[in-house]
Amino acid sequence: MVPTSIFNSAQTQQKKRGTPYDVEYVPGEPCQEVPAGAPVLVWIYGGGYTGGDKTSSGNPAGLIASSLQNGSEGVVFVAMNYRLGLFGWLSGSDNVTANAGLLDQRLALDWVQQNIHLFGGDPSRVTVMGESAGAGSIMHHITSYGGNGSVPFQQAIPQSPAFQPFVPAQSKAIFQHVLGNASALSNMTITSAEQLRALPYEALYELNQIVTGLSSYGSFTFGPVVDPSPCSYVPDFPARLISQGKFHNVGLTVGHNGDEGLLFTPPTVQTQGEFIGAIEMLFPTANASTISYITEVLYPPVFNGSYGYKSAIGRTALAISDFLVGCNANIMASTLSPGYAYLFSVPPELHGEDIPYTFFNGDTSTIDEELPVNGTVAKVMQRYLTNFAMTGKPTAEGYQEFTLYGQNDTLTNIGLTGLGSRMRDPGAVPQCKFWQEAPYYM
């Protein structure tokens, strides 16, 4: 989506060069020389790496309007699709390209670099923004190729950067799981990627629905995977790569919500044994001592609030929140420069609750009628985000400017109370060192 002022300017420049839009476009003509200038905001949607599309998060009209406030220059908004489920994330075989979904996104970002000037955008002023799986994808792009080469963007806004850590051993098990279900579905013996590809699309579509539908509570079976092959796009876990200095430094504003884990927490986990089982399911390659360290030291069965929880559900939710989102946000904000961060604290603060605020267009209704969108908070949040895309600094007229996250883990509160105030990141916890080092995969 291109603001009218930017579009008209680009059109005028093309007409000055003798290539108005009402004539046939011929590759190589001067319309490829339209002066670029406007910042670009590229959206990568979330959906557990298995669902969603480029329009599923909402209409960007509110973001565009925010970027034009008070005479601001505005942004060019771009959204992409990428392959999902087994089509985008199946691996575990030498004959399958790992992380195809990430490569789809990279191709779209490269396209923006090559073509956005035709729409009035500046390829040297690209900010990529995404939520959940979209944000987790951004983290993988920031660490792509172990920091070698360059990335086709200059800034990033990862909102709740989420992904379940998958290692090669898990990928191989998932691949065999897919083959087994494919065999049952087709009434044939499917033992290879080639045989999978030979199935009709309708069968593969149904297979994808079956496999994702069989996912454990709160998980999605598919997502980015560590790929140890030469010249891999994902040579290791992003947090570990960042801690080793193997990343592409870009300007950053990262956000997370107050309760990222509850949505993915099985309600049946009540006992110590059930908690251990849940952790073992999430990290099937971890050895017994690692599982014991997680369940006895990092998140012990102590429910007096001293560890951040007072119930079995709260304990599991906190562990999931830390490894899934919070510690990812922490290491990016504390390492990338400049690094800014915010906490979305509007009740109930659950994962994904910030999306209606990011894409606010004046409609305050939500799925939960008792929790309508607060228009004031939404507009301030949008202004922070779009100003960062335009200037490199998250600012909103009448509210405190974000300060650098730094060594004090300082972020800005986006909430019903204390909107724009600064506070210490509640997600910056000692447990993050463990999750960032990822000892469950060596």
Give the CA-trace dihedral at 317, 320, 326, 332, to 10 degrees. Answer: 180
With a cut of 70, say whether residue 10 has pLDDT above it: no
Instruction: Please tell me the distance from the alpha carbon of residue 24 to that of residue 141, in angstroms, as a whole number.
Output: 37
Q: How much is the pLDDT for 363?
A: 84
Token pair of 333 as six digits: 């904000």
Q: Which residue has the tokens 């575990």?
A: 92
| Contact between 160 and 256 (Cβ < 8 Å) | yes
Q: Which residue has the tokens 């650098």?
A: 404
Average pLDDT, the chain: 92
pLDDT digits (tens, 9 = 90+) for 25-41: 333 333 334 345 999 99
Q: How much is the pLDDT for 62?
A: 97
Cα angle 357-341-255, degrees, rounded to a multiple of 5: 40
pLDDT digits (tens, 9 = 90+) for 166-222: 989 999 999 999 999 999 999 999 999 999 999 999 999 999 999 999 999 999 999
Question: What is the pLDDT confidence band of residue 441, given thresholds at 50, 70 and 90?
Answer: confident
Q: How many CB atoms lie within 10 A of CB 268?
A: 13
Instruction: Please tell me the distance from the alpha carbon of residue 7 to that of residue 3, in angstroms, as a whole number.
Output: 6
**Of residues 131, 137, 160, 260, which has the active-site annotation?**
260
Q: Which of 264, 380, 365 is nearest to 322 (CA)?
A: 264
Instruction: Please tell me the distance from the alpha carbon of residue 271 to that of residue 277, in angstroms, as a whole number.
Output: 10
Instruction: Please tell me the distance from the alpha carbon of residue 221 to that of residue 212, in angstroms, as a whole number.
Output: 6
Strands (DSSP E) along 66-182, which ranges? Answer: 76-79, 121-131, 155-159
Question: What is the pLDDT confidence band of residue 9, given thresholds at 50, 70 and 90?
Answer: low
With a cut of 50, say whether residue 22 has pLDDT above it: no
Question: What is the pLDDT confidence band of residue 367, given thresholds at 50, 70 and 90?
Answer: low
Q: Is 342 helix (H, G, I), strand (E, B) or coil?
A: strand
**Of residues 93, 132, 137, 171, which has the active-site annotation?**
132
With a cut of 80, say whether residue 23 has pLDDT above it: no
Overall average pLDDT of the 237-254 stretch: 98
With a cut of 80, say whether residue 18 has pLDDT above it: no
Q: Is 254 helix (H, G, I), strand (E, B) or coil?
A: strand
Check if 24 is active-site.
Answer: no
Token pair of 397 as six digits: 């007229």
Overall average pLDDT of the 109-133 stretch: 98
Q: Which of 58, 75, 57 is nearest to 66 (CA)?
A: 75
| Contact between 146 and 171 (Cβ < 8 Å) | no
Which residues on neighbouring strands pair with residue 157, listed in sequence order?
129
Check if 345 is active-site.
Answer: no
Domain architecture of the chain: domains with CATH: 36-164+226-265+322-435 (3.40.50.1820)
Overall average pLDDT of the 45-63 stretch: 97
